[in-house]
Chain A
């Protein structure tokens, strides 16, 4: 029960932060990516603002266990791999086209209207086919 409450709280603060920072406004995101247009630096401030408290949080995980039980995530995996690069390039294409990444895509679901519902449906479909896509990629990798 406490795990659900803290998750609900974290999700709520995440949603508030996304909206307040302007990251639910696709023009600000695309404006940051568009270095040849009217460049908007807001996203860099958002990232910097988010990374600093997270750095302190990772520090606090050392030699401890989570407050609500269980264990902290394993140390960061040092292996890069092809899927990380191909996946990130694909993700970037969709992010650039729409100005939406998964967090803001969900934060806007309740009020953004049909374009957000359509994007979300396509994103879920993409997540569903991703395992098969990964198998195909691995097969190509094994042949080459």
Chain B
């Protein structure tokens, strides 16, 4: 268990360093939903190339790691009745709120953004309530 926390801390620092590089070099907030969403709704214009390059790294590196003996089991649900609504909620919600765990959570809280803090409080409360209801009351996940 302690090993998980240490890996969590190291991985977290790497996430923070990635956000720092994206901010200090490119001058942009590293938000996963914003980068993907900007490409989808076509508002990316001049930043299309750098957004695509970011996603290429984000997808390729974990895929390469999954080829090594390091555990890459995601334990994800295999029920379409869970995956489809979950994906829709995440997609609509993050665009409506203009950010997700990386944009509001990591990048927002670290600059003491009130929006980032409020968003994080609400998605954690909502996520916690959803897991408790879906797992312990309904037994769906």
Residues of A near any B CB (own CB < 8 A): 2-28, 30, 33-37, 40-43, 45-58, 60-61, 65-73, 76-80, 83-103, 105-112, 115-116, 118-131, 133-134, 137
A52 with B92: CB separation less than 8 A: no
Q: Which of A14, A68, A70, A101 is packed against the most chain B CB atoms within 10 Å?
A: A14
Chain B contact residues: helix, strand, loop or mixed: helix
A107 with B62: CB separation less than 8 A: yes
Q: Given A10-B26, A23-B11, A51-B16: A122 and B58 within 8 A (CB)?
A: no
Checking A22, A78, A88 against B122 with a beta-carbon cut-off of 8 angstroms, the contacting residue is A88
Checking B10, B25, B70 against A67 with a beta-carbon cut-off of 8 angstroms, the contacting residue is B25
Residues of B near any A CB (own CB < 8 A): 4-30, 32-33, 36-37, 40-41, 49-51, 53-63, 65-66, 70, 72-78, 80, 82-98, 100-102, 104-116, 118-120, 122-132, 134-136, 141
B123 with A91: CB separation less than 8 A: yes
B9 with A11: CB separation less than 8 A: no
Chain A contact residues: helix, strand, loop or mixed: helix
A45 with B8: CB separation less than 8 A: yes
Distance of A91 Cα from B55 Cα, bound (Å) = 21
What's the nearest-Cβ distance from chain A to residue B106, in Å? Answer: 5
Q: Kindly list chain B residues whose C-beta atoms are within 8 Å of the C-beta of A71.
A: 27
Checking B80, B90, B128 against A105 with a beta-carbon cut-off of 8 angstroms, the contacting residue is B90
What are 19 contact pairs spanning A and B, CB under 8 A?
A10-B26, A10-B54, A14-B30, A15-B61, A20-B7, A21-B7, A41-B5, A55-B111, A68-B25, A84-B118, A84-B122, A87-B97, A92-B123, A95-B101, A106-B55, A111-B72, A122-B86, A124-B36, A130-B95
Q: Kindly list chain A residues whose C-beta atoms are within 8 Å of the C-beta of B129.
A: 92, 96
10 A-B pairs besides A96-B127, A128-B41 with CB distance below 8 A are A3-B49, A7-B57, A16-B61, A22-B8, A36-B136, A49-B15, A91-B97, A92-B127, A106-B36, A106-B59
Chain A residue nearest to B63 in the complex (CB):
A110
B82 with A98: CB separation less than 8 A: yes
Q: Kindly list chain A residues whose C-beta atoms are within 8 Å of the C-beta of B88.
A: 94, 122-123, 125-126
B30 with A130: CB separation less than 8 A: no
Q: Given A33-B127, A98-B77, A107-B62: A57 and B54 within 8 A (CB)?
A: no
Q: Kindly list chain B residues whose C-beta atoms are within 8 Å of the C-beta of A26.
A: 74-77
B83 with A98: CB separation less than 8 A: yes
Checking B53, B59, B116 against A5 with a beta-carbon cut-off of 8 angstroms, the contacting residue is B53
